[in-house]
Structure 1
Amino acid sequence: MLTSLWQRLRADFAMLLAFLGFAALSFVFLKLASEVLEGETMTLDRWIITGLRSADPTVPIGPSWFETMMLDVTAMGGVWGLTLITLFVTGFLIVARKYATAGFVALSVIGGALLGTGLKALFDRPRPDLVPHLVEVSNASFPSGHAMNSAVVFLTLGALLASTHRSRRVRIYLISVAVGLTLAVGFSRVYLGVHWPSDVVAGWCIGAAWAILCWITARLLQRTHQIEQPGAVPVEEEGGPP
């Protein structure tokens, strides 16, 4: 009984911390958005972007292989890259017979993508024009779609997959990989000259806030058995256990 009570208290404390994280990230995004609208971030934005270019503004700092790597990294945060990753993860969950979790994952990612599209249309910030863009872009700049969508997809998938495992090491690994990929994609957008740094930070904040909200929702749904519990193994439909 004491063990069960302790586990419930730990779970409630984790939920409280997650909610505080969601509130903090949402506040930072709103504060940053306000400063962007007032032009207060431009000095730092310009300094960082120009600092990532050599004496020739068409050439980024660092060896040529690093630029190639940044092009590959930024592709992972594009629409097709994130769509394929989402399909692979939902497919895995379906094969594992976690059908409700698979549906929740798909809805979480789609909802985050729609949120990002709406925010871009709302702020309609022009792209940086200080240095040549090293990849083609067409839509508005704030918040960074690659940074936000990467946070939405990688952090949401990492958190939801982690919530299906009881092993602490597995959960830490999944979250660490998700955070690393999110940071790498966001940095690549600034390095390639297609986003102001404030765009990327805002994308990280709102994307991470969305991921936390999805994690909280998933935990509540698990408690009410509307999606699969962590480590739950579905019963075989045919033949039963060997």
Structure 2
Amino acid sequence: MRRTSTDSPPPAWDHRTTVRTTRVALALAACSAVLLALVAAEWRPLVALDGDIARTTHRWAVTEHGLTRTSRILTDWVWDPLTMRLVCAAAAGWLVWRRRAWWTALWLAVVCALGAALQQSLKAAVGRPRPVWPDPVDSAHYAAFPSGHAMTATVVCGLLLWLLRHRGAGRTVWRAAVAVAAVCVLGAGLTRVWLGVHWPSDVLGGWLLGALVVALAALVYARGLERGGGPGTAHR
């Protein structure tokens, strides 16, 4: 049986959208570069602000046992990077199985993998130590900048929101998806600061870099399909 692929340029995508997305990507790249430079240079005002916020939230986390326990469950099981990547893989599988959108599924998987590679490369290059406490409420491995939880949640939620928006999701579905994505992205970052395993600027860096990956991926997606990327038909 022959089924037509649903890979097609996003219906709401035009030249103005390309220009806006390019501007957003440039702004995100500039902000990410500035923050990266400040973190790498250990700029004192940033280090001081990070320390003040981290000490305050850690003091709260030590005393608020219920909230801290909930944060650990959410960060370890719901907003963990592995969980987010599995959600992305499930979405890619659904695109292939139900929609025959091979190009879109491949794009989704590749962008998610590249985002993870960028995150790990920056961690290794910057080598920023994590906060150290005499009475820790949680632990984490690898370098601190950028936050893997914050970046991965931003990439996955951003990609899925972009697909929903440009594939004609209804208003109710769109609003619900935006609300869920906002909770996931904000929660993934804030719980890391609360648990004392990241500096606030680590989380901010994760959000900025994740958003940059999504913006660049959207441009690549639209450009690829405009040039005939992706299969025209699929067989079953």
Return the alpha-carbon distance in structure 2 between the equivalents of residues 167 and 228 of structure 1: 27
Gaps in structure 1 of 5+ consecutive residues = 1-6
2:106 is matched with 103
1:78 is matched with 80
Aligned partner of 2:19 among 16, 21, 39: 16
2:92 is matched with 90
CA displacement 1:80-134 (0-9 Å, x = unmatched)? 2123212211121112221221111111100110010100011000001246443
1:220 CA displacement:
2.1
- Provide the TM-score with structure 1 as the length reference: 0.81
**C-alpha spacing 1:161/1:58, structure 2 compared with 1 (3 Å):** closer
What is the SS of the residue equivalent to 1:59? helix
CA displacement 1:44-100 (0-9 Å, x = unmatched)? 11111122134xx7715x4x3322321122123324212321221112111222122
1:202 is matched with 205
Gaps in structure 2 of 5+ consecutive residues = 1-9
1:34 is matched with 37
2:53 is matched with 48
- Judge which range, 88-97 or 76-85, deviates more: 76-85
CA displacement 1:187-225 (0-9 Å, x = unmatched)? 110000000001100111011100111112112233344
- Checking the alignment, whether the CA contact within 8 Å between 2:12 and 2:166 is kept in structure 1 is no
What is the SS of the residue equivalent to 2:129? coil
- State, as a whole percentage, how many aligned pairs show the same letter: 27
- Checking the alignment, whether the CA contact within 8 Å between 2:130 and 2:143 is kept in structure 1 is yes
Aligned partner of 2:156 among 139, 153, 157: 153
- Checking the alignment, whether the CA contact within 8 Å between 1:151 and 1:208 is kept in structure 2 is yes
- Checking the alignment, whether the CA contact within 8 Å between 2:61 and 2:194 is kept in structure 1 is no
Question: 1:59 corresponds to which letter in structure 2?
Answer: V
2:70 is matched with 69
Question: 2:192 corresponds to which letter in structure 1?
Answer: R
- Divergent runs of 4+, >6 A: 7-10
2:3 is matched with none
- Checking the alignment, whether the CA contact within 8 Å between 1:162 and 1:174 is kept in structure 2 is no
2:195 is matched with 192
- Checking the alignment, whether the CA contact within 8 Å between 1:162 and 1:175 is kept in structure 2 is no
1:171 CA displacement:
4.2
- Checking the alignment, whether the CA contact within 8 Å between 2:13 and 2:222 is kept in structure 1 is no
RMSD: 2.7
Return the alpha-carbon distance in structure 1 between the equivalents of residues 153 and 128 of structure 2: 20
Question: 1:12 corresponds to which letter in structure 2?
Answer: H
1:148 CA displacement:
1.1
Is residue 127 from structure 1 mapped to residue 130 from structure 2 by the alignment? yes
Alignment of structure 1 residues 201-240 onto 2, 5 Å: 201-227=204-230
Greater relative contact order structure (CA < 8 Å, 6+ sep): 2
**C-alpha spacing 1:42/1:143, structure 2 compared with 1 (3 Å):** same
1:173 CA displacement:
4.1
